[in-house]
Structures are given as C-alpha cells and as structure tokens.
C-alpha cells in the first residue's frame, strides 16, 4: 500500500468521502422501506452508470471495445457492486445501518488476506498479521460470541455484511489483474454498467416489475444512493487515491461508521449495543496497524 503525506485538501476530501459513504447506509435503509433489495441495487447501478458515462463523454475519453475488457468489467461489476450491494441491502433489513457500516470497515482486513493469497508482491508480514488479528477480534466482538453460531435472521445478516466486504476485497485483486491501465472514469463506468445489466433483469424476476410511482423520500434516497454515493463517490475516490495514496485511503473505512451511526441514531432512532462500539474500537486499531500508523517495534541488532 502506497503511503503518502496528507495535505489539508486531501484530509478534507477524505472526510467528505467518509461522510458520503456514511450516508449511503441511511439512504439504502430508507429506500428499502418501499423497494426490494435487488430493485434498490438496480436503481443504484443504472442511474450511476448514466452519470458516469456522461462524465466519460464530457472528458472525451476513449470507450473500450475489446471483449476481454468488457469481460473484466463484468466480473468487476459483480464483485464490487452487485454482490456487496445486494448483501448489504439485505443485511440492513435485519440489523442497524450503523452496525452494517462497522462490518463494512473490515474490507481492508479481508483485502490484506486476499491480496496475500493472489498477488505475489503482497506478503503477509508480522505487522499485517497483527492488524488482521485485531480486525477479526473486533468483528467477533461486534457480532457477540453468543451469536457466532446462531442462524436467526439477525445473525445471518451480520454474516451477509461480512460477505459483502470479502467480495469488495476480491474485487480489489481482480482490478489489479484485469483492469490496469484504464482511466478511473472509464473503469467505473464499465463495471457499473455491467452491474446494471445483471441487476435489472434479476430485480424484475425476483422483486417484480420496477415501479416509478414512489414516495418523494424514496426517490431522494435512491438519488443520493446512486448519483452521489456511487457515481460521484467513485470519482472522488480516485481523486483522493491520487492525492493520498492507497495506504492513507484506507482511513476512509474508519470515517464511515461514525457518520453512519450518527445518521442512524438521528433519523432511524437506532441504538447499538455496547459490544458494537468495542468491536469497532478493536477494528479501528487493526486498521491503523495495517495502515502503518501504528507499527511494531523493530528489533535492534547487537
């Protein structure tokens, strides 16, 4: 992971990205009051794709035509959008939006493990193993030891949220292997388009015909969910990545839960169990170790 110094502007845009993605959990939960899980995913990907292609055309970027690239977009769209969006949406029907955001922060933990398995230049060091161990201790604490082996909807929803983060981690490896050399705008537009192509028919078959006669609050939630928290957030993500580097960008996963928890409490009257906060503290400690801001002491040679 590339570590760079953070300028005040980079910090500001990192906080902005954290706030935008923190709000997506509230927006998703509000939308799910009226539309189905897959219908919400279809809305998110279709509208985001239209916005992103508008950006590509405005910037006059070349549109890829190679079948190999579109195959890469298809896999990336499934791993980075369709699967995690669906799992997180379903999980929020049974757990608090703030708790879902805490589990979402484990993306970096799974990312380290998946990268070590599939990428030769990503070795598991002692520093990374410590960070991963702390991260999983945080997850176990947030779920609760008594819930780890239960199979009620709430417990399954927590595992679904974790499954979403594993899918995000696999997407990161796939992007390294199949989508290098593309402009961020084109890569984002391609993968979201492929997600939409899959999500639309699935939503139609499973949730039923898509209705546009929705309440204003639902349209507002879907608009935020798709245009701001997907299309514009992807563009901001790559901008912050260029300014701050991948190591510092990991910090956004620590900024998302406080925003999501606060919005869930204010708007949805959610209250999380104390163990959720304890789990997030351990997870945050693990992410800081993975980020390199907290380091193991080096051995001195005698």
**What tens digit of pLDDT does each residue of 79-128 get?**
999 999 999 999 999 999 999 999 998 888 888 888 888 877 777 788 88
SS3 assignment for the chain: CCCCCCCHHHHHHHHHHHHHHHHHHHHHHHHCCCCCHHHHHHHHHHHHHHHHHHHHHHCCCCCCCCHHHHHHHHHHHHHHHHHHHHHHHHHCCCCCHHHHHHHHCCHHHHHHHHHHHHCCCCCCCHHHHHHHHHHHHHHHHHHCHHHCCCCCHHHHHHHHHHHHHHHHHHHHHHHHHHCCCCCHHHHHHHHHHHHHHHHHHHHHHHCCCCCCCCCHHHHHHHHHHHHHHHHHHHHHHHHHHHHHHHHHHCCHHHHHHHHHHHHHHHHHCCCCCHHHHHHHHHHHHHHHHHHCCCCCCCCCCC
Helix pair 153-178, 67-77: axis angle to 10 deg: 160
Q: pLDDT tens digit string along 175-193? A: 888 887 788 899 899 999 9
Q: Is 264 exposed, middle or buried (CB count within 10 Å of its CB: 0-12, 13-18, 19+)?
A: buried
Contact 110, 90 (CB under 8 A): no
pLDDT at 35: 96
CA-to-CA distance for 166 and 104, rounded, in angstroms?
A: 9
Q: CA 25 → CA 116, 194, 301, distances in Å?
A: 30, 23, 49
CA-to-CA distance for 56 and 62, rounded, in angstroms?
A: 8
pLDDT at 130: 86
Closest Cα partner for 44 from 86, 76, 16?
86
Q: pLDDT tens digit string along 120-156? A: 777 778 888 888 888 888 888 887 766 666 778 888 9
Mean pLDDT confidence for 1-20: 76
Query: What pLDDT band is residue 282 in, cutting at 50, 70 and 90?
Result: confident
Mean pLDDT confidence for 24-29: 95
Mean pLDDT confidence for 248-262: 84
Mean residue pLDDT across the chain: 87
């Amino acid at each position: 992971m590339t570590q760079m110094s953070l300028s005040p502007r980079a910090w500001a845009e990192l906080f902005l990205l954290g706030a935008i993605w923190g709000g997506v959990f509230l927006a998703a939960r509000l939308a799910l009051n009226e539309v189905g899980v897959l219908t919400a995913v279809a809305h998110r990907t279709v509208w985001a794709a239209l916005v992103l292609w508008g950006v590509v055309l405005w910037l006059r970027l070349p549109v890829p035509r190679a079948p190999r690239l579109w195959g890469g977009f298809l896999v990336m769209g499934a791993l980075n959008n369709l699967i995690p969006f669906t799992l997180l949406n379903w999980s929020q029907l049974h757990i608090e939006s703030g708790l879902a955001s805490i589990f979402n922060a484990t993306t970096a933990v799974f990312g380290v493990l998946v990268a070590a398995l599939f990428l030769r230049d990503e070795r598991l060091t002692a520093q990374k193993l410590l960070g991963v161990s702390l991260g999983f201790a945080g997850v176990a604490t947030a779920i609760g030891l008594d819930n780890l082996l239960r199979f009620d909807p709430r417990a399954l929803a927590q595992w679904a949220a974790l499954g979403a983060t594993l899918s995000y981690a696999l997407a990161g490896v796939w992007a390294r292997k199949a989508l290098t050399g593309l402009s961020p705008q084109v890569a984002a537009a391609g993968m979201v388009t492929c997600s939409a192509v899959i999500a639309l028919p699935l939503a139609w078959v499973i949730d039923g015909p898509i209705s546009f006669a929705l309440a204003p609050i639902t349209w507002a939630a879907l608009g935020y969910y798709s245009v701001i928290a997907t299309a514009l957030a992807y563009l901001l993500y790559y901008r912050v990545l260029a300014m701050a580097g991948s190591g510092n960008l990991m910090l956004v996963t620590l900024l998302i839960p406080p925003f999501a928890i606060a919005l869930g409490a204010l708007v949805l009257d959610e209250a999380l169990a104390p163990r959720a906060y304890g789990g997030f503290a351990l997870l945050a400690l693990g992410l800081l170790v993975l980020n390199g801001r907290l380091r193991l002491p080096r051995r001195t040679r005698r």
